[in-house]
Structure 1
Amino acid sequence: MKVNTPIAGGAPASTKRAGIRSVTAPEWRALSLAGLGWTFESYDSFLLSLLLPTLALQFGLTKPQLAVFTSITAAGQIIGGILFGYVSDRIGRVRTALLCIGIYSLFSGLLAVVPNEHWFAVTRLCGALGMGGMWTAGAALVAETWHASRRGKGGALMQMGLPIGAIIAISIAGIVTELNGGLGGQGWRTLFLIGAAPFFILFWVARKTPESPIWLERKASAQRAAASRNAPRAQLNVRGLLTAFFFIFFLQYLYWGVFTWTPTFLVTVKHFDFAHSLKFVLALQFGAIAGFLLFSALVDKLGRRPMFIAYLLVGAVAVGVYIGSAEPLLILCAIFLTGFGVNGIFAGAGPFLAEVIGDTASRGFLMGLAYNGGRLGGFIAPLIIGSLATTPSGFVEGLATTIVAFAAAAVVVLFAPETRGKTLA
């Protein structure tokens, strides 16, 4: 395999263009594998949020008991992201991504046949290991393959898989509801069975995706150093790692707090029926797509910090309106902007983590540690909000805790360095 290392690092000045026309074939292929893997993972993740009311009826569970499913998912993603970040440093980004896709596809399909809530929890935990690892391997692949002048764009386009996967989940749920007369019975099982398909689709994509040129060069350098008995030591940027961790921690609290409970909140507090609530959730996802597109267009021009602050501000105001308003049209607009800010800000996560952590032979492991360790925020958010959601006013108070997370994330960004255009090696 021919390795074109300047793609990710120091390309000649004449090639340093951030426009979409300058994107190379290896960059597009890396984005295809990472983006599609992330899209199908998002389908699997968001499906659980849609099905919480159905699972409550099927298994006879309370809201706090339902929150265990989402917290187990977050816990599996934390473990899997860190574990497979380490694996990706050893066997490569592409092979690790395909391995993780296989894991979450297998266990998503198995959810279709679980007999009770206990087996559901165990199976979900196993599948979540692959979910966490997929983001780590995919984000590292894109960050190390796309040129520094357009890395933010590549990372944002990869993250668009998040709302697209959710929209696919909503659409297929709507079709199954129509055909099945609801999601009870075999309806919810059909949705999880469909989640077994990604491996068979992406196996062929992975075969045509070249490995990260930076990872290949590091592997070759390590082999040369080992042969000369002068192996380099991995450098650890503690400040960068902590910045990445706390940034993701608060973003994950926002995401899991808002997105996990939105369908249930709309049904139980705003008193929308399920079909009506799906329209509002779709507004959330289309807002996210708009957020990703704008982020991808501006982040390599304006920088990471201004974009993050702007998105946090929009998201905080939108969530405040969404949980406090009783007017359907205003709620719809607020939910659109919630998707824009809360979901759209993840467009910059992959490149920012790679850049703030810096150059190290353990980049995959450290990105996995920061991103998936930061999922602790996603682990506790459903539990906190679920425990408060025993009454309508408690539900509102639970979602209001996300406003604190917005402020905390903004503080982290203000103390973080600007990393726009940073060359990786």
Structure 2
Amino acid sequence: MSKVELGRVETKVPARMDRLPWARWHWLIVIGLGTVWVLDGLEVTIVGNLTNALKDPDAGLGLSSADIGLAGAIYVTGSCLGALFFGQLTDRFGRKKLFIITLIVYIVGTVLTAFSMNPAWYFACRFLTGTGIGGEYAAINSAIDELIPAKYRGRIDITINGSYWLGAAGGALLTVPLTDPNVIDQGLGWRLAFGLGAMLGFAVLWVRRKVPESPRWLFIHGKEDQAERIVGDIEHTVEHEDKLRLEPVSDDEAIVIRQRRTIPFTTIAHTVVKLYPRRTILCLSLFAGQAFLYNAFFFTYADTLTTFFGVEQTGWYIAVFALSNFVGALVLGPLFDKVGRIPMISGTYIGSGVLLAVAGLLLADLNAFTLTAFGVATFFIASAGASSAYLTASEVFPLETRALCIAFFYSVGTAIGGIAGPLLFGRLIEAASEAGDVTGIAPGYFIGAALMTAAGVVAIFLGVKAEGQSLENIAKPLTAE
């Protein structure tokens, strides 16, 4: 036996997990793990809606529009680095340890943000908060896909990722009273907004205590007894709650695994670059397109409404926009399992790209209401497409590399679109504001539209038909015989 191997084990754990019917137990996974996107949506929307409060030199921090864009870029940079750092730890030490640690990092970061006394402190806290959120993406996406049955994986993953917009809607509505000087002192209101995000984080932390480690991760890392015990408990819970009897899994559905404690980084790099180059190109395209589209448009949407259309309370507009995103993921999500991954991914990317390009062409004739209407239509479609980027990265690579692959594609794609987007739009808004011409921000719309459309075309040729398949069939574990 190789020195790096712990032993060999035959297991039916993947087949047993995939044959489970949807049960109340699965809602624990959805609530306990899926709320990370609610937190991220809350964070981003709070910052967007607190633009005027943060710009106030007395009650706020005296930030400029460019500073707002810079803060957005710093937050995304933290997310990218956090995803890479915590992603490799997730593959090495397990899903559960890391989705607890990364949530604690988020809570600490957002609490410290509430106590910001100058721009430098604020920027540093946004970076720390971002590292927690980025780490969450890697740990949570891998755990969700490994715990949800294959039949439901697409719709659940899409909907959970889309729950980002529940947080966005909540953040938008939350900031309405907290930015109203008739309701609360403005120097206190924006600080409370960040504090309430931390309170939600503590509630999520309490729920996560009951979410188990991924049995798939356990049996690969030499802990097959613990994996069998967890799956047995899940099966017992499902049978008891739903009053049914699960059929046994046949012997031909078992797989043989060469167990290891760690997987060398060189093996992971070889997997991404050499073993699955087409999937690598696909994931990079999907992440770059959706990151630029969302971060460029949404990070500065409130600033656009305020600067060009005289909107004082942007929360109502953003709440409507955000809810349309969640409804889009909820409505279109099941089609990723029924119609298929390739037609749905390509269709949502190309469709939203075309709509955003049309909005850019018509900017001169739009007002706050019609711009929001275009945003609602575009991102109703784009929401499911953006969520499918995370779904794709999570299911098309081997289990041993899953978290780090998610982190890698999220970081690289977001660095391309998510950091450049807010910086570009911040500058475009300032330049357009000085000229008094809203069409000055149109180039950002066109770049986002082009990247989304191009990613949709890539999906047509390089997409993977993963609907209804076991993760082990889509990408054979590196340790499997």
Same fold by TM-score greater than 0.5:
yes
Corresponding residue number in structure 2 for 1:154 = 156
Corresponding residue number in structure 2 for 1:35 = 34
Structure 1 residues 306 and 248: alpha-carbon distance in aligned structure 2, compared to 1, 3 A threshold? same
Corresponding residue number in structure 1 for 2:15 = 10
Q: Distance in 2 between matches of 1:292 and 1:225?
A: 37
Aligned pairs for 1:141-220 (under 5 A) are: 141-178=143-180, 181=183, 184-220=186-222
Corresponding residue number in structure 2 for 1:415 = 461
- What does the per-residue CA deviation read over 1:116-152, in whole Å, with 9 as the maximum and x for residues that have no partner? 0011111111111101011111111111111222110
Runs ≥4 residues deviating over 6 A = 221-224
Structure 1 residues 54 and 135: alpha-carbon distance in aligned structure 2, compared to 1, 3 A threshold? same
Cα pair 2:333 2:384 within 8 Å, conserved: no
Instruction: Determine if the alignment matches structure 1 residue 236 to structure 2 residue 241.
Output: no
Aligned pairs for 1:245-256 (under 5 A) are: 245-256=284-295
Corresponding residue number in structure 2 for 1:348 = 388
- What does the per-residue CA deviation read over 1:356-375, in whole Å, with 9 as the maximum and x for residues that have no partner? 2x214121111111122211
Corresponding residue number in structure 1 for 2:82 = 80
Aligned residue for 2:454, secondary structure, equals helix
Aligned residue identity for 2:334: A
Q: Distance in 1 between matches of 2:212 and 2:206?
A: 12
Match of 2:137 among 132, 135, 138: 135
Structure 1 gap ranges (5+): 17-21
Range that drifts further, 213-222 or 291-300: 213-222
Q: Distance in 1 between matches of 2:109 and 2:312?
A: 27
Aligned residue identity for 2:470: T
Residue 73 of structure 1: CA displacement?
Answer: 0.5
Corresponding residue number in structure 2 for 1:401 = 447
Identity %: 23
Structure 1 residues 258 and 322: alpha-carbon distance in aligned structure 2, compared to 1, 3 A threshold? same
Aligned pairs for 1:6-405 (under 5 A) are: 9-11=14-16, 15=19, 22-57=21-56, 58-178=60-180, 181=183, 184-220=186-222, 225=259, 236-238=271-273, 239=277, 240-269=279-308, 271-275=309-313, 277-323=314-360, 324=363, 325-326=365-366, 329-356=369-396, 358-376=397-415, 377-389=417-429, 390-391=431-432, 392-405=438-451
Q: Distance in 2 between matches of 1:165 and 1:68?
A: 22
Aligned residue identity for 2:377: L
Residue 91 of structure 1: CA displacement?
Answer: 2.1
TM-score (normalizing by structure 1)? 0.88
Cα pair 1:160 1:292 within 8 Å, conserved: yes
Aligned residue identity for 1:207: R
Residue 250 of structure 1: CA displacement?
Answer: 1.5
Cα pair 1:355 1:422 within 8 Å, conserved: no
Q: Distance in 2 between matches of 1:37 and 1:183?
A: 30
- What does the per-residue CA deviation read over 1:237-261, in whole Å, with 9 as the maximum and x for residues that have no partner? 4212332123101110111011111
Residue 339 of structure 1: CA displacement?
Answer: 2.5
Of the two, which has the highest radius of gyration?
A: 2
Structure 1 residues 188 and 366: alpha-carbon distance in aligned structure 2, compared to 1, 3 A threshold? same
TM-score (normalizing by structure 2)? 0.78
Q: Distance in 2 between matches of 1:336 and 1:204?
A: 34
Aligned residue identity for 2:340: G
Cα pair 1:35 1:160 within 8 Å, conserved: no
Q: Distance in 2 between matches of 1:308 and 1:272?
A: 37
Q: Distance in 1 between matches of 2:24 and 2:219?
A: 19
Aligned residue for 2:471, secondary structure, equals coil
Cα pair 1:74 1:375 within 8 Å, conserved: yes
Q: For the aligned residues, what is the CA RMSD? A: 2.6
Q: Distance in 2 between matches of 1:327 and 1:395?
A: 14
Residue 11 of structure 1: CA displacement?
Answer: 5.0
Aligned residue for 1:115, secondary structure, equals coil
Aligned residue identity for 1:53: N
Q: Distance in 1 between matches of 2:368 and 2:43?
A: 28
Cα pair 2:76 2:418 within 8 Å, conserved: yes
Aligned residue for 1:344, secondary structure, equals helix
Q: Distance in 2 between matches of 1:124 and 1:143?
A: 29
Structure 1 residues 63 and 353: alpha-carbon distance in aligned structure 2, compared to 1, 3 A threshold? same
Corresponding residue number in structure 2 for 1:19 = none
Aligned residue for 2:271, secondary structure, equals coil
Corresponding residue number in structure 1 for 2:228 = none
Structure 1 residues 11 and 344: alpha-carbon distance in aligned structure 2, compared to 1, 3 A threshold? same
Residue 71 of structure 1: CA displacement?
Answer: 0.5
- What does the per-residue CA deviation read over 1:308-357, in whole Å, with 9 as the maximum and x for residues that have no partner? 2222233234324544242555434322112212333223233211222x
Structure 1 residues 262 and 305: alpha-carbon distance in aligned structure 2, compared to 1, 3 A threshold? same
Residue 298 of structure 1: CA displacement?
Answer: 1.0
Structure 1 residues 108 and 167: alpha-carbon distance in aligned structure 2, compared to 1, 3 A threshold? same
Q: Distance in 1 between matches of 2:326 and 2:292?
A: 20
